[in-house]
Amino acid sequence: MTTVLATILAVFGALAVAYCVWAAIASARTPQGAAAWVVFLVSSPWFGVPAFLVLGRRKVRDYRAAWRESHDLFSIQDTEASRGTLPFEREKTLRALERIGGLPFTGGNEVRLLIDGGATFDAICAVVDSARESVCVQFYIIRDDGLGRRLADHLVAAAARGVKVRVMYDGVGSQKLPEAWAARLRDAGVAVLNPDHSRGPTSRLEINFRNHRKTVVVDGDVAFVGGHNVGDEYLGLDPQFGRWRDTHVEIRGPVAGQIQAVFAEDWHWASSESLTDDLPWEAGDATDPENATLAALVPTGPGDPIDSGSLMFFTAITAARDRIWIASPYFVPDTDIMSALVSAALAGRDVRILLPSTIDHYLPWLASHAYFDELRATGVRFFRYCDGFLHQKVILVDDDLAAVGTANLDNRSFRLNFESMVFVADGAFASDVERMLSDDFVQSDELISALVDQPLHIRISSPLARLWAPLL
């Protein structure tokens, strides 16, 4: 009997491994990802099979099906009426970004940089206080600390005025958020949604797909997008990190409506509740439409039929004629991004990558060392920010195109997270971003040492960490 049972288990295990190997090869979008899973599954099947079932799925279950069941919120907006004239020299690039994100570049926007947490949350709270109809809040991390309670106070006050307030947060990013924080808001009439809870136990099989978006939309007309989450460390109050260097943008105009539509898309998928009739969809134009800014939201995520996150970065990098500057807390590129950076550097572009010197997640930090030598040899320059922890996600292309949002320069943002980046095709805004990043470079040290010059444990473990790049 024991022999028979052992044989059955062995056959079952072999079939499970074979199925997972086939699924990994069939569904992985990169050879590196497929190879990493095959090696793991064959060498450690008892660990590899459960890990693949939880972490290896490449698409979010039913995301697009759920969205198709709802109304097409994007058609509600008068996007054609507000569509801006694309500059001839950037038309192909902007068209590509439109197709990647599914949303058009529109005129009639005002976009303002918000540097660091104090300016960001002062602006957010002030606009929430002015809300008349609706407030939509979405963050990856919300903490029940000073900033978390401050934001809650403003949301409760808005709900007391009769404003419809909705809050959505990621179940993994906000796993330490106590239920009491959400209960207080619910008692005040605020709708609070944790997708991991609302979608039931099967959502645990999608734990590797996270909603990394950080947005606030008020009345469908004013929106905020960027790198800040809700926690005291984002105000620079955590001594482990010191100053928290981050960037948000405030947008007024049609792009705010695009951001609200993506919020509604996420809300509908998580709860099956359509917000079509519950939110204002007539986004107002900026004060001076003749001089207003051309912009678009580029949302990306594992529910897309293409590798939208990686393609977004690839498009920006290959569009550069003179320079491409990227600030990101993590650097774990795929082969396409590596090739794009190398090509830009070999063509004489000013290619700079700004990273933090402070470590918050060790494995991605370790893996990044395995890429530096190869890219520096072609002319790509790397800098470590030294005046605190750098967490901003910013792209600057030449002197007329810039982006701020939530996407990191790593495989997780490329393929596993839902992200949002606001692209702005405007010389004045690009100039503001240039000044901001130039100040950051002054506070940074350029990386010039090779991997062979690093401590022994980094020399040994960095190439090994790179093997996990498809999951980092």
Q: Which residues are catalytic?
A: 212, 214, 219, 391, 393, 398
Q: Kindly provide the b/e burial profile for residues 101-113, where b requires at least 16 CB atoms within 10 angstroms of the residue's own CB.
A: bbbbbbbbbbbeb
139 close to 214: Cβ distance less than 8 angstroms: yes
Q: Residue 146 phi/psi, 5° resolution?
A: -55, -50
> Which of these, 411, 392, 414, 415, lies nearest to 403 by C-alpha position?
392
* Residues 6+ positions from 38 with CB-CB distance below 8 Å: 21, 24, 25
The Cα 46–Cα 322 span in angstroms is 51
Going by DSSP bridges, is the β-strand pair 417-425/210-211 parallel, antiparallel, or unpaired?
Answer: parallel
| Distance (Å, whole) CA 253 – CA 286 | 5
Secondary structure of residue 462 in the 3-state scheme = helix
Residues 6+ apart with CB under 8 A from 135: 128, 155, 158, 163, 164, 165, 166, 216, 217, 218
| Type of residue at 455 | P
Direct distance between the N- and C-terminal alpha carbons of the chain, in angstroms, rounded to an integer: 44
